[in-house]
Amino acid sequence: MTSDQEPVRILLAKLGFDGHDRGLKVVARMLRDAGCEVVYLGLRQTVESVVVAAEQEDVAVIGISMHNGGHLTLGPMMVQAVANAGLGIPVIIGGIVPAEDIPRLTAAGVAAVLGPGTPIDVVVASVREAARSTYTTP
């Protein structure tokens, strides 16, 4: 849990074989410019590699970017893996997620879902809100 005065430490990654990382790089830069500490893992990460890095880097939030349609599988897997590791770190999903899938993701424990064109202030506020929360599995 962090206060609004502390920089939020967030890990950003792309899961699976999705090779589209331009949006994630833009988000990383936006968050850095807003005072966040960004750990950027980049492309082709596994759920397990993200959990290990999140623990090693002592992050407050995990952000994963989805553009390949795997959000309904990989999002809940990420949340469960974080819970299984006993980390209690909230997970935010960004990218291409149909509106009708958002309730399923939030029910699975995803802290926020941010689509293309989300204003910078909303992205930063969502990250800060997630960092302030105490995560528990649904």
Q: Do 49 and 99 form a contact (C-beta atoms < 8 A)?
A: no
Amino acid identity at 102: I
120 conformational bin, left if phi > 0, alpha if psi -120 to 50, beta if neither = alpha
| pLDDT of amino acid 1 | 47
4-63 pLDDT, tens per residue? 568 999 999 999 887 778 889 999 999 999 999 999 998 999 999 999 999 999 999 999
* Domains of the chain as residue ranges with CATH: 9-132 (3.40.50.280)
Query: Quick one: pLDDT at residue 5?
Result: 67
Looking at residue 19, the DSSP 8-state letter turns out to be: -
Query: What percent of the chain clears pLDDT 90, i.e. is strictly above it?
Result: 78
CB 101 within 8 A of CB 69: no
pTM of the predicted model as reported, rounded to 2 decimal places:
0.92
Mean pLDDT confidence for 69-73: 88
